[in-house]
Amino acid sequence: MPGSASPITQFYNCRLLRDHQLVADSLYIQDGKIIDPARMFWDERRTPDVRVDCKGGIISPGYIDLQINGAYGYDFSNNTDAIEEAVDNISKGLLLQGCTAYCPTTVSSRPEVYRKVLPHLGPRPGSVEAGAAVLGAHIEGPFISPQKKGAHELATFRTAKNGLADIDECYGLDNLRKYVAYVTMAPEVEGVLDTIPELIKATGIHVSSGHSNATTAAANQAYHNGANMITHLFNAMHAFHQRDPGLIGLLGARKSRPFYGIICDGIHVHPHSVMIAYYAHPNGACLVTDAMSAQCLPDGFYKLGEMDVDVHGGHVYIKGTDTIAGSTATLAECVRNFIKFTGASKVEALENATLHPAQMLGIEGQKGTLAFGADADILILDDDLFVQRVFIAGKEATSDNVKFNKKL
C-alpha cells in the first residue's frame, strides 16, 4: 500500500528524548506526525524532502502545562466577554515559549461563569495559525476547602451533598464531557469523596485533589476512588505531619501513587521541598506554572478571576495580603529550575514537562513523546535547555508567523 506523497522532514545532528534517555539519532516527520523512517527507506524508496540541522541540540516533545490561569494580560476567569480573544492570544504566546499544549485553568467561579467560558476552553488542535493545542479546561474549585482557599473567592464555594446533581448544577455535566480535562476538588468537602467515581464514569474527566485539608485517610480514599492527581503539591493543603501527612503523604504510598503538579518558580515551593517530592516519587512529577495574567508582563496590578492581585519581582499576591495568587513563571523556566533545585538529569526534568503530564491525562500516545505516530510537536533545545526552535504539527513556529497581542 503506497504511503503519503507529502513531504518528509528529517531532523539530524541531534539527540532525541526517547525511551527515558537522550539518544543520538534523526527524527522524521510527515503530515504533522512523527514517522518510522524504515518504511520511507525500504518500502517507498524515498529520501527526506527537507533536512533540518539541529546543530547538536536536544529534541524534546513540546512542553505541556496542566495548570495556567492566564498570561499576556488575559485571564480565563475574568472578562468573560473576551474569552475567545484570551484563548487565541495566550495559545499563540505559549507556543513561542515552547509550550505546545495546555489546560486553560479557571479559579472558583459562579455557575453562570462556567456556562459562559467552558465552551471556549474545550479541546482544539494546535497549529502555527491557532497556537498551542488546548487539551481541555482545568476547573480549580469551587468544591474545595474554605480552610485552604488560597486565591479563591469564598462566596463561590460549594459542597456536593447531593452528589452528582450538585456537580451538574455548578458546571453542567455536558460541559464537563465536552470541554473539560480535569477538575480540582477537596476530598473532605461534603459529598465529594463518594461522588468521584460517579463523576468520572458520567463524564470521562480526570479528578485532582487539591485546595484541601484532607486527612491521609481521606486523601488515600480519593486516590483509590479515581483522583489520579494532586494539584500544586505543598500549596493550599494540609501541612505535612508525621502522624497524618495528608495529601502529601500519598507520595509515600507503597504501591501506586498519584501524579502531582509542582510549581518550580522558587517562590511557591522551597527547593528543599521540591527535592523531597523528587526523591519520593520522581515518576509522578508534572511541572506546572500556575501562571496568571501577568506572565511575561511588567510588575503592576492585575486580575485573577474577580480578585485584584499585586505583582512585583515575580511574586504574586492578593492585593493587600500575603496570600500567593499564582506565578509569572514560564514552563521553560520551571524545567531549568527543577534541575537547579534537585540535581535531576535533563531527561527527568524534560519528562516532567512532557511525558508525565501526558500520562496524567491518558494521552501519552499522542502528546509528550517522540514515539512513532505521535503529534510532531517538538522543541530544539540547547544544552542548558533554552528553547531554540519550536515546531507544532510539523511546522516551525516563529515570531514572524505567529502574531499575538499583549493586553497591558
Please, where are the H alpha helices in 42-190? Answer: 83-97, 111-117, 164-171, 173-179
For residue 129, what are the CA distances in angstroms to 73, 102, 137, 378, 405? 20, 16, 20, 16, 14
Q: Is 290 a catalytic residue?
A: yes
Crossing angle of helices 164-171 and 192-203, in 10° steps, is 60
Q: Which of 389, 372, 393, 360 is nearest to 60 (CA)?
A: 389
Label residues 3-38 b or e (16+ Cβ within 10 Å = b). eeeeebbbbeebbbbbeeebeeebbbbbebbbbebe
Query: Which of 328, 300, 234 minimizes the C-alpha distance to 273?
Result: 234
In terms of Cβ atoms closer than 10 Å to its own Cβ (0-12, 13-18, 19+), residue 277 is buried
Listed in sequence order, the DSSP H helices in 131-233 are: 164-171, 173-179, 192-203, 216-224
Q: How far apart are CA 144 and CA 116, in angstroms?
A: 21
Judge if the upstream peptide bond of residue 142 is cis by omega within 30 degrees of 0: yes
What is the end-to-end Cα distance of the chain in Å, rounded?
54
What are the residues facing 15 on neighbouring strands? 24, 58
Catalytic residue among 168, 265, 290, 377: 290
Residue 306 burial by Cβ neighbours in a 10 Å radius (0-12, 13-18, 19+): middle
By annotation, the residues acting in catalysis are 290
